[in-house]
Structure 1
Amino acid sequence: MLVDHEVPTVLGRIRVRTDGDGPAMLMWPSLLMDGDLWAAQAAHFADRFTVLVVDPPGHGGSEPLTGGFTFEECATVIEQVLDQFGVPRAHVLGNSWGGMVGGTFAALHPDRVGVSVLLNATASAAGRRQQIEYAAMLRAARLLGGIKPPLTRSVLRAFLGPTTLRARPDVVRAVRTALLRVDVDSASWAVRSVVPERPDQRELFADIRTPVLVVAGDEDATFPVSETRSMAEAIPGAGFVVIDGAAHLAALEAPYQVNALVDDFLAQQRPPGM
């Protein structure tokens, strides 16, 4: 059973939910999502690991954001969470925003990370089209007083692919529920920092020397397979896998496949001391 904690960080108070015992595994979700994105992974790994499920800055039970941030500050948040729990090193699972931050953390803090599994992420700066689309989404959300219909449909199509929209109603309900909980004023700072102000991290990621698996969804319209593959190619020795029938939230859409990929990658790498 996940237990709530509050952790003071450079980006405000962060809610971290913990379960299990053993080597640490930290999980950071996508923009507009909270730690519930990782429910299936937290349940799967808690019998062997101490899972640390993060509500990222400005989301879920974490303190609202009042300004923008850098990915380096997000990596510091991970470091501060590990310090709070007395954890010297952790495996890191990240989806989208979490995948980008997971790469930043691995590059800047190699002594604090075991393996990294980075899903539905990118190392590239945002293109003009993505900047325009997210700016329009935020304007609509402010006018509506939240991410509500008809805007919800547009966000669902950005996050979920045709397979999930057609055949996984439980996932659609979970994402719709999460979107309704979003604090638009707070999330807008995160969106601005992660989309239009996102840096190109490919040069930084070339410094990563710890094991990394990059995972794409073949139906991901936000970061297509080619873009996520480019991220993997920027990381020395990184593995790359595409999950069929998954889009931008693979951990939620295809939990059994993701759990199996993480299990297999951990078995192959066996980082010392973890």
Structure 2
Amino acid sequence: MVVEDQYIPTQLGTVRVRLSGSGDPILMWPSLLMDHSLWDAQVDHLSTRFTTIALDPPGHGQSSRLASTFTFDECATCIVQILDALGFERTHVLGNSWGAMVGATFAARHPERVGCSILMNGTASPAPTRQKVEYAALVTIIRMMGGIRPPLTRSVVGAFLGPTSRKTRPATGPLIVDVARRQDAASLVKAVRSVVPLRPDQRDLLATIRTPTLIIAGREDVTFPPAEVQRMAAVIPNSEFVLIEDAAHLVALEVPDRVNMLIDDFIQKHERTGQDT
């Protein structure tokens, strides 16, 4: 499999994208603290039929540092700029958490440029007071420690993985910690503030989506519990909702085979019916 990295200028800085395969594109935007490697299993599976575009989101991985906080509309514009730079008119979108919110914004703002959206472990709601307080404390700790450091790493694993993955998928915890520890502290602070305390109420915007959308939740997710993810699905007309019982906040990493099957089935169904053309 041929893998190519490109560094694409966007309004939120230079974004590193990892390209694999050929065919229609699928763009993949991960969660906070994660980089393109969250999608490794999906890239391996999908790049035999698609061009996979797995990115390090702004301020993460090998993308440039963030200069300021951002909006989800600015993130959606980044997708447009990436597609333009690569010469693609439209793309399917995979998004997890932050990526799910960005993917939904992209589908609402740029319907002519999206095929299917598969959005995992996201929300359409603003952050409640409790979450704002918790993440304000997280930002303070990241600043003090200069990044994600022990014992904060235990909190990250607890936020991302449930009891099933911690018990039966022991490799997932160290992988998450390794990626999180490599992120730039100043950029993390700006990204966390943008995605949590500054997060807008998107329910009215998401109600305008008319393109095929699959929403996936993990039963064991404590960051965005299933009921919250289901509320996101409820405001998107004709969206489909799937609950995975034995996974938490990073379902694409925790149960990749099941997620890959859901992606395949959803895209193939809409290709057959012509709803994404």
1:73 aligned to 2:74? yes
Structure 1 CA distance for aligned equivalents of residues 224 and 78 of structure 2: 24
Q: Deviations over 1:59-82 (max 9, x none)?
A: 001000010111100000000000
User: C-alpha displacement at 1:2, in angstroms?
Assistant: 2.5
Counting only pairs closer than 5 Å after superposition, residues 160-175 of structure 1 correspond to structure 2 as 160-175=161-176
Q: Deviations over 1:194-253 (max 9, x none)?
A: 100000101000100000000000000000000000000000000000011111111111
Find the residue that maps to 1:169 and give its secondary structure. coil
Structure 2 CA distance for aligned equivalents of residues 272 and 131 of structure 1: 39
1:26 aligned to 2:33? no
Counting only pairs closer than 5 Å after superposition, residues 46-65 of structure 1 correspond to structure 2 as 46-65=47-66
Q: Deviations over 1:238-270 (max 9, x none)?
A: 000001111111111111110000001011111
Structure 2 CA distance for aligned equivalents of residues 3 and 77 of structure 1: 19
Find the residue that maps to 2:171 and give its secondary structure. helix
Counting only pairs closer than 5 Å after superposition, residues 141-160 of structure 1 correspond to structure 2 as 141-160=142-161
Which residue does 1:224 correspond to in 2? 225
Structure 2 CA distance for aligned equivalents of residues 179 and 48 of structure 1: 30
Q: Deviations over 1:130-172 (max 9, x none)?
A: 1111111121122222211111101110111111111111111
Deviates more, 1:137-146 or 1:87-96: 137-146
Structure 2 CA distance for aligned equivalents of residues 121 and 130 of structure 1: 14
Structure 1 CA distance for aligned equivalents of residues 95 and 80 of structure 2: 15
User: C-alpha displacement at 1:123, in angstroms?
Assistant: 0.4
Point out where structure 1 has 5 or more consecutive residues left out of the alignment. none
Structure 1 CA distance for aligned equivalents of residues 145 and 41 of structure 2: 32
Which residue does 1:97 correspond to in 2? 98
Structure 1 CA distance for aligned equivalents of residues 58 and 88 of structure 2: 20
Which residue does 1:128 correspond to in 2? 129
Assess if the C-alpha contact under 8 Å between 2:218 and 2:243 holds in 1: yes
Structure 1 CA distance for aligned equivalents of residues 180 and 268 of structure 2: 35
Structure 1 CA distance for aligned equivalents of residues 215 and 147 of structure 2: 32
Counting only pairs closer than 5 Å after superposition, residues 261-272 of structure 1 correspond to structure 2 as 261-270=262-271, 271=274
Which residue does 1:9 correspond to in 2? 10
1:256 aligned to 2:257? yes
Residues 32 and 140 (structure 1), Cα distance of their counterparts in 2 relative to 1, 3 Å cut: same
Structure 2 CA distance for aligned equivalents of residues 221 and 273 of structure 1: 33
Deviating runs (4+, > 6 A) in structure 1?
A: none
Assess if the C-alpha contact under 8 Å between 2:212 and 2:275 holds in 1: no
Structure 2 CA distance for aligned equivalents of residues 2 and 96 of structure 1: 25
What amino acid is aligned across from residue 204 of structure 1 in structure 2?
A: L
Structure 2 CA distance for aligned equivalents of residues 126 and 78 of structure 1: 24
Q: State the percentage of identical aligned residues.
A: 55
Which residue does 2:196 correspond to in 1? 195
Assess if the C-alpha contact under 8 Å between 2:143 and 2:189 holds in 1: no
What amino acid is aligned across from residue 166 of structure 2 in structure 1?
A: L
Find the residue that maps to 1:57 and give its secondary structure. coil
Structure 2 CA distance for aligned equivalents of residues 105 and 273 of structure 1: 15
Find the residue that maps to 1:241 and give its secondary structure. strand
Q: Deviations over 1:12-49 (max 9, x none)?
A: 00000101000110000000110100000011000000
Q: Deviations over 1:105-151 (max 9, x none)?
A: 00000000000000000000001111111111121122222211111
Assess if the C-alpha contact under 8 Å between 2:116 and 2:276 holds in 1: no
Structure 2 CA distance for aligned equivalents of residues 134 and 181 of structure 1: 19
Structure 2 CA distance for aligned equivalents of residues 273 and 236 of structure 1: 15
TM-score scaled by length of structure 1? 0.98
Which residue does 1:244 correspond to in 2? 245
Structure 2 CA distance for aligned equivalents of residues 64 and 186 of structure 1: 6
User: C-alpha displacement at 1:272, in angstroms?
Assistant: 6.3
User: C-alpha displacement at 1:9, in angstroms?
Assistant: 0.3
Structure 2 CA distance for aligned equivalents of residues 70 and 106 of structure 1: 15
